[in-house]
A and B are shown apart, each in its own frame.
Chain A
Amino acid sequence: MSLEKKHQLNPDKWVGLYADYLFNYTIKRVDNHEVSKDLIQETFYAALRSFPNFKGLSSERTWLVSILKRKIIDHYRKVNSIKGKSEIRVNFHQSGDQEGDWLEERVPAKWPSSSDYYLEQEELSDTLKKCIDNLPEKYAIVFKMKTIQEMETKDICKELDISSSNLWVIIHRARTQLRGCMEENWFNK
């Protein structure tokens, strides 16, 4: 490591300086304390291993975040391959004369008027999170990347190697399933 470089690495200070920031960044995206901790630890390890490759062009934090981002996506992928087996509900006729029309049993029901359900914010969030977790994993991943990580469509497509029309079909199915789940478990309970 030459000394002229603008940005230096100080692994001794990483935890003190960046652990909170990285943890906040991670917990929002994976919603699990232990997993977040492990991902950050892995990030530090990976950073130490690629120590010689750090060119000092970006700040230490930016560099660590870029490694962490990869770790989070790897984590999404891993979960995806383990749990990718549950099925999405079909909501529309798939073929025949009525192709693309609502299936009768999947037609949305009216929800009670809006006045009171925003009051119980925390419970509502919990129900919604449970509904998201009940999605088939691939749908959950794409939905989370788009809605919680607020990633650009083209970035998600690149990461997961899917087309944008494929992405929107997944988002749409996820949202339709989510709507049904919220109807059952929250609005018309």
Chain B
Amino acid sequence: MKVTLTCDEATTICSKNQYDEASITDKFRMVFHVLFCAVCRLYSKQNTIITKCMSSVNKDAVVKTTLNTKEKEEMELKIKEMVE
């Protein structure tokens, strides 16, 4: 198995690691790459920021809208029509 990674490979592992799914060997190889590669180091940092932003998007996606009474009544009506 090769130890050195290209930037493409290193950043792929970095993305995988955002979901905690990178293997230990991959993580080691990535850390090794990042040690010597300033660009990927910066990318890793920003990738983590994106992850943080995403978790806040997920949080406020929750309770913004609900079905209103009229919409529910229409649904009920449609179901009744079909049952009959």
Cβ of A11 and Cβ of B71 under 8 Å apart?
no
**Binding-face segment, A53-61, A67-75, A107-115, A133-141:** A107-115
Work out how many contacts link A and B, with CB atoms closer than 8 A: 120
Cβ of A128 and Cβ of B54 under 8 Å apart?
yes
Cβ of B6 and Cβ of A125 under 8 Å apart?
no
Question: What B residues does A153 contact at CB under 8 A?
Answer: 19, 21
Cβ of A172 and Cβ of B60 under 8 Å apart?
no
Cβ of A110 and Cβ of B19 under 8 Å apart?
no
Choose among B47, B57, B62 the residue with the greatest number of A CB atoms under 10 Å from its CB: B57
**Please, how many angstroms separate the alpha-carbon atoms of A176 and B44 in the complex?**
10
Given A99-B6, A168-B12, A172-B16, A111–B46 Cβ distance below 8 Å? yes
In the complex, which residues 1-52 of chain A have their Cβ closer than 8 Å to any Cβ of chain B?
11-12, 14-16, 19-20, 23-24, 27-28, 31, 33, 37, 40-41, 44-45, 48
Cβ of A121 and Cβ of B60 under 8 Å apart?
yes
Q: Any chain A CB within 8 A of the CB of B66? A: yes
Could you tell me the distance in whole angstroms from the C-beta of B83 to the nearest C-beta in chain A? Answer: 6
What is the 8 Å Cβ interface bit string for chain B, positions 40-63, against chain A (1 contact, 0 not)? 001100110110011011101111
Cβ of A128 and Cβ of B57 under 8 Å apart?
yes
Cβ of B82 and Cβ of A45 under 8 Å apart?
yes
Among B43, B63, B76, the residue within 8 A (CB) of A179 is B43
For residue A45, which residue of chain B has the nearest CB?
Answer: B82
**Interface residues of B, CB < 8 Å — how many?**
41
Given A31-B61, A92-B6, A100-B7, A48–B50 Cβ distance below 8 Å? no
Cβ of A101 and Cβ of B82 under 8 Å apart?
no
Interface of B is mostly: helix
Question: What A residues does B9 contact at CB under 8 A?
Answer: 100
Cβ of A172 and Cβ of B62 under 8 Å apart?
no
**Please, how many angstroms separate the alpha-carbon atoms of A183 and B42 in the complex?**
13
**Please, how many angstroms separate the alpha-carbon atoms of A122 and B60 in the complex?**
8
**Please, how many angstroms separate the alpha-carbon atoms of A107 and B46 in the complex?**
12
Question: What A residues does B21 contact at CB under 8 A?
Answer: 153
**Please, how many angstroms separate the alpha-carbon atoms of A23 and B39 in the complex?**
43
Among B49, B58, B61, B75, the residue within 8 A (CB) of A44 is B75
Q: Which 3 A-B pairs have the closest CB atoms?
A: A100-B6, A100-B8, A92-B8
Can you show 19 pairs from A to B with CB atoms below 8 A apart? A11-B79, A12-B83, A15-B72, A15-B75, A19-B72, A19-B75, A28-B62, A41-B75, A44-B75, A91-B8, A100-B6, A114-B49, A125-B56, A147-B54, A148-B61, A168-B15, A176-B11, A179-B46, A179-B47
